[in-house]
Amino acid sequence: MFGKPKGKTKAPQIGVTFNHGVHGKTFGCVACHHNGREESCFECHGAVARDKQLTAKDMIHKGACVKCHKDTVARNSASKAPTKCAACHGGGAE
């Protein structure tokens, strides 16, 4: 039968724009590149958790990225750090 799916449905993933230069100037490389290593976040934080590493999704949503954005806005209400889903995902729901 056709109709509305039961239970939760997964929203389509929409790419996120990340301004590497602004983040690097503001926070320094080691804020994200642990121990000064220059590899991409996703080299360790992939789609599957391993060796107690957060997945990329969890690192962004439950870890440092969203936490830092919320803390920044709490300290400075004029901050442009996005904290809502749609602000990063261009159409996602909060």
Q: What is the DSSP letter of 87?
A: H
- The pTM of this model reads 0.64
pLDDT at 23: 86
Residue with tokens 């590493």: 53
Domain boundaries, the chain: 21-81
pLDDT tens for residues 6-65?
Answer: 454 455 556 777 788 888 888 888 877 777 677 777 777 777 877 778 888 888 888 888
Report the C-alpha gap between 82 and 90 in whole angstroms. Answer: 11
Supply angle C-alpha 44, 59, 9, rounded to 5.
115
Q: What is the DSSP letter of 46?
A: -
